[in-house]
Amino acid sequence: MITVNGDKAAWSPGMSVQDVLRARNFKFPLLVIKVDGALVQPRDYAATPVPDGAVVEVIHLMSGG
Amino acid sequence: MSHPESSTPIVRCEVDFTQRTEYHHGMEAIKAAHKLLAEATFTPTLPDKGYTNRTLYVNVGTREIMEKPVTQQMKDIFLGGRGFGLWHLWNAVTPATRWNDPANEIIISPGPVSGTTQYAGSGKSLVVTLSPQTDIPIDSNVGGYFGPLLKFSGFDALELQGKADQDVILFIDGQKGVIRIEAAPLEPVDSHVLAEVLTRMYAEDDADRVNISVVSTGAGADHSLIGMLNFSWWDHRRGCVRLKQAGRGGIGTVFRDKRIRALVCRGPVVKGGLNNPADPETIARTGIKFHKEMRANDDSQCKMRRNGTAHIVEIMDAYDLLPTHNFQYGSHPDTHRIASPVWQARCTQETVDGCWYGCSMACAKGADGLVLKTGPYKGHTVTVDGPEYENAAGLGSNSGVFDPDDLLELNFYCDTYGICTITWGTLTAFVMECYQRGILNLERTGGLDLTWGNAAADLEMMHQMARGEGFGLIAGQGIHKMKAIFEARGWGDPKLMADIGMECKGLEYSQYMSKESLAQQGGYALTNKGPQHDEAWLIFMDMVNKQLPTFEDKAEALYYFPLFRTWFGLNGFCKLPWNDVVPSDNASTSEPAKVPEHVQNYVDVFSATTGIRIDKDELIHQSAKVYNFQRIFNIRMGKGTRSFDIPPYRSVGPVTREEYESRAERYDKQMMEEIGVDPAGRTTDEKIAITRDHRMKRYNSLVDAVYLRRGWTPDGVPTLARIQELGLDAFPEVVEIVKNHGG
Amino acid sequence: MRQLRIDLTKCNYGRDCHHECESDCATKVFKVDDPALAALHIRDHGDGKGTAILCDQCGDCVVVCPAEALKRNRLGVVMINKKLCVGCYMCIGFCEKEAFERNPDWIEPYKCTSCGICVKACPHAALEIVEVPEPAPRII
Ligand code: SF4
Ligand code: SF4
Ligand code: SF4
Ligand code: SF4
């Protein structure tokens, strides 16, 4: 189990930040992502593991009209 | 700093962007019919630190043309732009004045920073008038060259009052120092023709066309309450005029009620330092820093230079936020047909699309080579501006239209007829739902089959409105008036219409779903002018990020963001470069959602222009003066208190069974977890009622919290203490209004 | 098109030539005394290596200029028309070579004209003007 923006979510071995985004359908380009408080850069989404029990924050900025 | 590797290849549009139907034949005869009604001369001056320190007053009825000084008090309290507009309007009208009284004014003011060519998004004009839809002030922030050229001619604002007895053109020649009111009996009516003809007519030669900007509207504004104004600029590469819209609230309708056909400004040749800023070096450095940020980051972030604001169509769909079928649903399987890759391929990419010089965000995309299939310009080849996100959503998904060419045609006709695309989208969605629910039918619409997605009927309704006939005439009254008309004819349940008619204060909602974001429900309904997202867009912060868990958190956001965003309109800035690109290190700042580096850029560019040193807190204080003044203006006009801040229930929660059932899992879960009621064994109707009761209570608690944070009474009236803090007690009438309403 | 090129194996980064190229460019082409205001910049990294900032006449700035103040002349060189320039500095911000220049005392920016004056000035013959094909305009 992990927490994503306050919601409980399923965890699976080998899970990356990229997988979390895919699972939640988070497609917005302007994101600020933290895993257990540590900032993850966009280029590292695929390579950054999300450990079991992790607290993931996916902060969406704003854009548009 | 080359483009990041993630960048996708650019699809080139195969259309020749220099080809289109031309309209200037016959221009000589049109010009020959002009008759001079009044003329005045003035001494053109350039601004000093962003201000020319005078405004221009023109009464098109009495033909009076007059210069007025800009007082220190005006600058201290109202700053410029929308602030100047509200101040002039306040002085022009009484509580009894309505939109079509000669006393009503249209004020156009660019703001002190407007006309800066180095910092992206610094060329906006702000337009203010009493709205025919809401009977309170409406304000609109619009691109195009008119505002900067007006200022560089010598005026910080233009006030238009009175009503002409015939169609007139107001010409301001900032090169020669002449102002003329001319009778214009033979002018074409619709903007894409009129703006082209007038640009050529008033330019002394080909090179002069870039110095001309035309403000105009179209046939739609003559027969509806939802008319808008098109602000033009000459697009030299395309060889045509481009238009940007002051859309909301019926400003174009007021314009035509005054029988103004067009405003034409011929400004001086634009150069880099015409604002004579206090500190040009800071502006240059800040501007270049932002250009580099655009170059480095846009392609991996929002792709504004490629897609404009339409880049979020598919994103809104992915988050269940794309209004579909009159805000019933938030996504649709056909969204991909109106998503950004379609527009990227359809818009010309090899040109420069800023709505003012120096905008490196350049979102004013153009789809060239559209051959029209309907209406008076059937068969013509035209350039369509946009489509912006609002248009793709409003004219598209919200009305069930998913054909890109249909959408472009709707967009084109809204623009040239001079009606607001957002309003048209939302009102069409409303009539289509009325059609779905039997409130309307073929007989009542006079044969228009307004089923979801019927673009041909949608277009025909628009053409009817432009001709001033049929059901289109009713549609053009807007949702607020339509509800009353339908009720008077006994056509539908008024309660249902109140729930599904997406308007507040008389203005139609813009195109975002607020159902799952309480903060955004307030972001829409607690606005000064009516439900437009330009005060606050909090859906992600609230609904997705869960950054605003308490009422106090939401209230803080509904304090800060509306004030922050008001400030763009006081200065002549565009909102988009604030947060449609962010610096590479934005994520590691303390408040990424505010984009701190950009806020500092604004502070720096303002200070460097005006020589008035401010910081980010003073920026909010500057806005608060105007924001609260506008609230009090609303109260003065008989609105502006709590009962006018109540949203239609469609924006708060599910109105119908289909709506509830389509997202039943979500609503049932909320009932269990948030309301503490077990949904098991309850009928959909019961569950709708329980949800509604809970959500409306929650909304009212939010209103309490927001009013408190804003320094307003529980009825939404700014308190005397707040007024004094802001220096608005300098105006006795303001104090009196506040006192009379318990503030 | 005419393009200025540098051979970094010949250039000695100003160690004994006193940046003659920059000085001559500044004084003779742009009529200013300060070599920092030349249209090319040679930087000594101190480890026997260095870098040069030169305009290669790629034409990216032509594409972004909102005023059509930038055009290629008949030699293919990107030239600025100061009469049309609105001083927006998009050219500076979008030049990937950081080769579009600005003098704080002027509103209009300036750039290399591939005139070859620096070529003559260089005592090490590190600079040359070459004729290369004009690249197709990019979408930026
Ligand atoms: S971002 Fe778009 S709307 Fe804003 S100033 Fe630039 S081109 Fe105009
Ligand atoms: S100044 Fe820069 S962008 Fe322009 S041609 Fe030279 S290298 Fe290219
Ligand atoms: S500063 Fe002048 S030359 Fe450069 S992009 Fe702007 S208008 Fe064009
Ligand atoms: S070619 Fe001419 S303009 Fe270019 S750097 Fe050399 S001297 Fe300066």
Q: Domain ranges for chain B, please list them.
A: 33-266, 302-508, 518-581+614-740
Can you tell me the ipTM of this complex? 0.98
| Nearest CB partner across the interface for A63, out of B300, B312, B511 | B312
Q: What is the DSSP letter of B551?
A: H
State yes or no: pLDDT of B579 exceeds 90.
yes
Show which subunits contact C, needing at least 3 CB pairs below 8 angstroms: B
Closest CA to C95 of C129, C140, C28, C41: C140
* Mean pLDDT, chain B, integer: 96
What pLDDT is attached to residue B385?
Answer: 87
The tokens describing C136, both together, are: 């197709």
Relative to the alpha carbon of B122, which ligand is closest? 1
Domain count, chain A: 1
Calculate Rg over the CA atoms of chain C. 15
| Domain layout of chain C by residue ranges | 2-126
A65 assigned to some structural domain: no
Q: How many CA atoms lie within 13 A of C99 on its CB side?
A: 22
B484-507: per-residue pLDDT in tens?
999 999 999 999 999 999 999 999
Q: How far apart are the first and last CA of chain B?
A: 55
Interchain pair A63, B533: CB under 8 A: no
pLDDT per residue as tens digits for the range B436-455:
999 999 999 999 999 999 99
How confident is the model at residue B462, as a pLDDT? Answer: 98
C12 pLDDT band (50/70/90 cuts)?
confident
**Domain B302-508 CATH assignment equals 3.30.565.10:** no
Using CA of residue B51, residue B53, residue B54, residue B55, what is the dihedral sign? positive
Residue B285 φ then ψ, to 5°: -65, -40
**Closest atom of ligand 3 to CA, residue C109:** 1
Kindly report the backbone phi and psi dihedral angles of residue C52, in degrees, each rounded to the nearest multiple of 5, phi listed first. Answer: -125, 135
The dotted CATH code for B518-581+614-740 is 1.10.599.10
The answer to whether the Cβ–Cβ distance between C94 and B360 falls below 8 Å is: yes
C35 lines ligand 2 (CB under 6 A): no
- pLDDT digit string, tens, across residues B107-165: 999 999 999 999 999 999 999 999 999 999 999 999 999 999 999 999 999 999 999 99
- Residue B178: enclosing H or E segment and its boundaries? strand B178-183
Q: What kind of fold does domain B33-266 have according to CATH?
A: Aldehyde Ferredoxin Oxidoreductase;  A, domain 1 (3.60.9)
C67 alpha carbon, closest ligand: 3
Query: What backbone phi and psi angles, to 5 degrees, belong to B35?
Result: -130, 130
DSSP H or E stretch at residue B521: helix B518-525
Q: What is the pLDDT of residues B501-538, one digit of tens each?
A: 999 999 999 999 999 999 999 999 999 999 999 999 99
Question: Can you read off the two tokens belonging to residue B22?
Answer: 């031309």
What pLDDT score was predicted for residue B11? 66
Q: Whose CA is nearest to atom 3 of ligand 4?
A: C112
Reported as a pLDDT band with limits 50, 70 and 90, residue C14 is confident
Contact at CB, B302 and A65, closer than 8 angstroms: no
C-alpha of residue C89 to centroid of ligand 4, in Å: 20
Question: Which residues are CB-contacts of B130 (< 8 A; sequence separation ≥ 6)?
Answer: B89, B93, B97, B98, B99, B104, B136, B137, B138, B254, B637
User: Rounded to a whole number, what is the distance in Å from the CA of B336 to chain C's nearest CA?
Assistant: 24
Sign of the C-alpha dihedral, residues B539, B541, B543, B545?
positive
Q: How far is B317 from chain C (nearest CA, A)?
A: 28
Closest listed residue to residue A51, CA positions, set B80, B698, A65, A3: A3
Predicted confidence at residue B4, as pLDDT, reads 36
Residues 36-65 of chain A whose Cβ lies under 8 A from any Cβ of chain B = 39, 41-42, 57-65
Q: Check pLDDT > 50 for residue C91.
A: yes
Q: Which residues pair with A57 in a beta bridge?
A: A34
pTM: 0.96
B6 falls in which pLDDT band (50, 70, 90)?
Answer: very low
Task: Give the pLDDT of residue B653.
Answer: 98
- B366, B238 Cβ separation under 8 angstroms: yes
Distance from CA of C16 to the nearest CA of B (A): 32
What local confidence, expressed as pLDDT, does residue B5 receive? 37
Using the structure block, give the residue that is written with the tokens 């548009």. Answer: A64
pLDDT per position as a tens digit, A8-56:
999 999 999 999 999 999 999 899 999 999 999 999 999 999 999 999 9
Q: Considering Cα of B473, then B475, then B479, then B485, what sign does the dihedral take?
A: positive
Could you tell me if residue A52 is inside a domain? yes
DSSP string, B649-665: GGGTS--SHHHHHHTHH
Atom of ligand 1 nearest to the CA of B364: 7
Topology of domain C2-126, per CATH?
Answer: Alpha-Beta Plaits (3.30.70)
Q: Which atom of ligand 1 is nearest to the CA of B354?
A: 7
Chains touching chain B through at least 3 C-beta pairs below 8 angstroms are A, C
